[in-house]
Amino acid sequence: MIMAFDAGLQRKIMGHFATGVTVVTSGGDEPTGLTANSVTSLSLDPPLVLFALAKKAGSQDAFRQSRCFAMSILSSAQQDISNRFATPGPKEFADLKTRTAETGAPIFEESLAWVDCRVTEIVEGGDHDIFIGEIVAGELLQEGGNPLLYYSGGYREIANGA
């Protein structure tokens, strides 16, 4: 009999994989969003990206119904935004500088870059759903800017000269 791998050990191991930090948003009557580092570029042709969303997340219905999302890649100066969108519950956008592109999902104007996507597929992945989106718009706002990084349970910065 094969034993299930320990979830706590998996979290520790994978926590040593440094990632960038994004906020993924969905438009509609009540925009929502969440901090996500389980994101990746999937394909260049067609242009696809993905993010994983816990099945128990309160924003599941909003992302499923809107069939779109925007992904803002955060700069090191946006840790407060990351913290705000990492907590459960309704999200407040009123005091943030945002805009929209093709899908109507909020995009953070001071991020490093962003992509706006239409959901093409939702795939089950254990206790998460994987939202695959085709990029319909995007922009690089701060070429060479400092990204917000997450490593071993905390925010990190790229060392000077790196």
For 71, residues 6+ apart whose C-beta sits below 8 A from its C-beta are 22, 23, 24, 25, 36, 39, 49, 51, 114, 115, 117
pTM of the model as a whole: 0.92
Q: Determine the Cα–Cα distance for residues 14 and 161; give it in Å rounded to an integer.
A: 26
Per-residue pLDDT tens digits for 102-161: 999 999 999 999 999 999 999 999 999 999 999 999 999 998 889 999 999 999 988 765
Q: Note the pLDDT tens digit of each residue in 53-99.
A: 999 998 999 999 999 999 999 999 999 999 999 998 888 899 999 99
> N- to C-terminal Cα distance for the chain?
47
DSSP state of 103: S
Q: What are the structural domains of the chain?
A: 19-146 (2.30.110.10)
Nearest-angstrom CA–CA distance, 47 and 50: 11
In this structure, the number of other CB atoms found within 10 A of the CB of residue 53 comes to 21
42 exposure class (CB count in 10 Å sphere: 0-12, 13-18, 19+): middle
